[in-house]
Each structure stands twice: as structure tokens, then as C-alpha cells.
């Protein structure tokens, strides 16, 4: 099966290739977590015993991604350091016989090929994609955000890739939402073409429960085709920001778009309550912590 992309203003069919690249925007200020994020990236906030961004990287790697492009900003050096080797720490762990910890930190650096570029251009989550164009070229790729954790038997990104491999068109992450969440998320309306897979007809930004019957919420995480770059360049800046969803909507006027209702649990660690929820839920899944955590929760409550 082939995929479509824009080349010299015309669509060309090429043999489908394995998607190996992902773009992860991590340039945001993390203002919802100030003052904790004054000097530390919000993506480095711990969930149990790992920073948030490591969960994202592990999901990508488990889905078959080998090259991860971080689009960073000032004060994000800690992310680079985390995914690098640390000879001094490794030497100390080796000397003190902490073999388990030594393996853990060495494995982090070899998870993937990491590339770091600075975000340049308008604020917003569309700019990082444009910044990575020279590294992506004419390949389809994955874009995920650095503060969304998904857990489940099959990685969320792998589920998106399987839909792309079948339809060869952009694929969006979707979850089932309740009435109140229609005020928080974009809502997707469309035709279910197979179980959990929808061809998108309309995306409505935070419509509220009475403006649509759909309860399919669109959240961050996409498989994108290279014609998104041209769509982004033609997308107007809105309220000082370039939005990836605006470019995807414009792309949908020219080609089909799909949404996959993922079989996964979603934690929005970009919010305080979502971060606490992730720590509690994943802590309870940790065999070393779960019993003591249950006791602690009862004590605190």
C-alpha cells in the first residue's frame, strides 16, 4: 500500500515505508507548575521514579520509533542530559555495586537516536513540526507531546501506526469523553469505518455537550504525512500561535483524515491533577510501592 504526499504541487504515490521518526515538542514554559518549573522542565517532573518524558520515549520505542526529535527551548538542557550517558555517575554506581541502578541509567541513553533542535518561529504547537522539516524530509512521521502518558497492553502510538499502515492517511488520537469533557477537548464527528476507527468529517473545538452528539474527543498524538508542512505554512497564526490542529483541519479539505479511539488509559501530566493521578495510578501498579501506597492513601484521607 502506498501513501500520498505533496511533491511539486502534485500528489505522488510511493511504496509505504516503515515510520521511524517522531517529533516531540518540549519548548513550553510549564507555567501551570510554577515555581517548580522555573529552572526544571515540566517534562522532567517525576512520575513514580521516572520523568514524564521518559514514559513518552519508551512508548515511542515500543511502537517501533528509532529516531526522536526533541524541539526544545531555553532551560531544557536537563532533557538532553537525561538521555545521555553520565560516566561519573556510572563509575560511582559500578564501584558501589549498584548494578540495577547502573543498568537502568545506561539503558536510557541507548533507547533511541536523539536529536535536539531549538524552536524558532511563532509560539504554538505547529511551529516545532516546521522546525523539524529538514530532518523529516518526505517521510510520514509521528508527533506526540511531552506531557501525555498513555498506558495499556498495546502502545497508543502503535495503535495509530496500524491504522496508518492500512489507510495511508493522517491518523489522530481519540478517546471516549463525557459531557463535561466536551468543554475541554475538541470533539470529532465522523463515520466509523471499522471498530474504533473513524473517518473524520468534522472537528469542533470545545463545543459543549449540547452542540454535538459525538463523545469522541481528539487529543494530542498524530501520525502525519509530509504534506502537513505545506499546510502549516499556509495556516494563519491564531492569537499569536501556530496550531497543528488548524493545519490538520486544512489538510482534511484535500485528503481523508482518520481518528483511532485508542485502547489505553490517558494521563494529562501537563495539569496538576493529571500529574497527581498518574503518580497514584502508576504507583499502585509498582510492586515495590503498591502496598505501602495503599496504606498511605488511607492515612492521608
CATH of the domain at 136: 3.90.550.10
Flag whether 180 is in a domain.
no
On whether the pTM is more than 0.85, the answer is yes
Q: Does the residue 282 lie in any domain?
A: no
Measure the CA–CA gap between 220 and 125, rounded to whole angstroms: 10
Alpha carbon 205 to chain centroid, angstroms: 19
Residue 112 confidence (pLDDT): 96
pLDDT number for residue 16: 55
Return the pLDDT at 263: 95
Q: Residue 168's pLDDT band (boundaries 50, 70, 90)?
A: very high
Whether residue 212 is contained in a domain is answered as: no
The answer to whether position 285 is within a domain reads no
Name residues whose C-beta falls within 8 Å of residue 96's C-beta, 6 or more positions apart in sequence.
none
| Separation CA 26–CA 11 (nearest Å) | 32
Phi, psi of 55, rounded to the nearest 5 degrees: -60, -40
Summarize pLDDT for 128-155 with one digit per residue, the tens.
999 999 999 999 999 999 999 999 999 9
12-71 pLDDT per residue, tens = 444 556 899 999 999 988 899 999 999 999 999 999 999 999 999 999 999 999 999 999
Q: For 108-121, what is each residue's pLDDT tens digit?
A: 999 999 999 999 98
Instruction: Report the C-alpha gap between 158 and 164 in whole angstroms.
Output: 10
Q: Of 161-165, 184-188, 229-233, 271-275, which gets the smallest average pLDDT?
A: 184-188
83, 108 Cβ separation under 8 angstroms? yes
pLDDT confidence bin for 98, thresholds 50/70/90: very high
- Residue 105 located in a structural domain: yes
Q: What is the largest CA-CA distance in the chain?
A: 65
* Cα 125 from Cα 237, distance rounded (Å): 11
Supply the range of the domain harboring residue 152.
2-174+217-267
Using pLDDT thresholds of 50, 70 and 90, give the confidence band for residue 204.
confident
Distance in angstroms (rounded) separating the CA atoms of residues 79 and 253: 37
126 in any annotated domain: yes
Residues 6+ apart with CB under 8 A from 204: 186, 187, 189, 211, 212
Q: Write out pLDDT tens, residues 271-280.
A: 999 999 999 9
Classify residue 133: in a domain, yes or no: yes
For residue 199, is it within any domain? no
Q: Which of 207, 172, 173 is nearest to 187 (CA)?
A: 207
Confidence of residue 2 (pLDDT cuts 50, 70, 90): very low
Count of domains for the chain: 1
Amino acid at each position: 500500500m502506498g501513501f500520498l504526499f505533496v511533491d511539486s504541487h502534485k500528489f505522488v504515490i510511493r511504496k509505504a515505508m516503515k515510520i521511524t521518526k517522531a517529533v516531540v515538542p518540549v519548548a513550553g514554559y510549564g507555567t501551570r507548575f510554577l515555581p517548580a518549573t522555573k529552572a526544571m522542565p515540566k517534562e522532567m517532573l517525576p512520575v513514580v521514579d521516572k520523568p514524564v518524558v521518559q514514559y513518552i520515549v519508551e512508548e515511542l520505542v515500543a511502537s517501533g520509533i528509532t529516531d526522536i526529535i526533541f524541539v526544545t527551548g531555553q532551560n531544557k538542557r536537563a532533557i538532553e542530559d537525561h538521555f545521555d550517558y553520565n560516566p561519573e555517575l556510572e563509575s560511582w554506581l559500578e564501584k558501589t555495586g549498584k548494578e540495577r541502578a547502573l543498568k537502568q541509567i545506561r539503558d536510557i541513553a541507548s533507547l533511541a537516536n536523539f536529536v535536539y533542535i531549538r524552536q524558532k518561529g511563532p509560539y504554538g504547537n505547529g511551529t516545532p513540526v516546521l522546525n523539524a522539516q529538514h530532518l523529516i524530509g518526505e517521510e510520514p512521521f509521528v508527533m506526540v507531546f511531552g506531557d501525555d502518558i498513555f498506558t495499556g497492553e498495546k502502545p497508543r502510538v502503535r495503535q495509530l501506526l496500524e491504522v496508518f499502515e492500512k489507510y495511508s492517511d493522517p491518523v489522530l488520537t481519540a478517546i471516549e469523553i463525557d459531557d463535561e469533557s466536551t468543554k475541554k477537548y475538541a470533539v470529532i464527528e465522523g463515520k466509523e469505518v471499522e471498530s474504533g476507527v473513524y473517518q473524520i468529517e468534522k472537528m469542533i473545538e470545545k463545543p459543549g455537550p449540547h452542540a454535538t452528539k459525538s463523545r469522541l474527543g481528539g487529543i494530542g498524538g498524530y501520525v502525519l504525512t509530509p504534506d502537513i508542512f505545506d499546510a502549516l505554512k499556509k495556516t494563519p497564526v491564531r492569537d499569536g500561535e501556530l496550531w497543528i490542529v488548524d493545519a490538520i483541519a486544512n489538510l482534511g479539505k484535500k485528503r481523508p483524515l482518520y481518528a483511532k479511539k485508542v485502547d489505553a488509559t490517558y494521563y494529562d501530566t501537563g495539569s496538576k491533577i493529571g500529574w497527581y493521578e498518574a503518580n497514584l495510578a502508576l504507583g499502585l501498579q509498582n510492586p515495590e510501592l503498591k502496598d505501602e501506597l495503599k496504606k498511605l492513601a488511607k492515612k492521608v484521607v
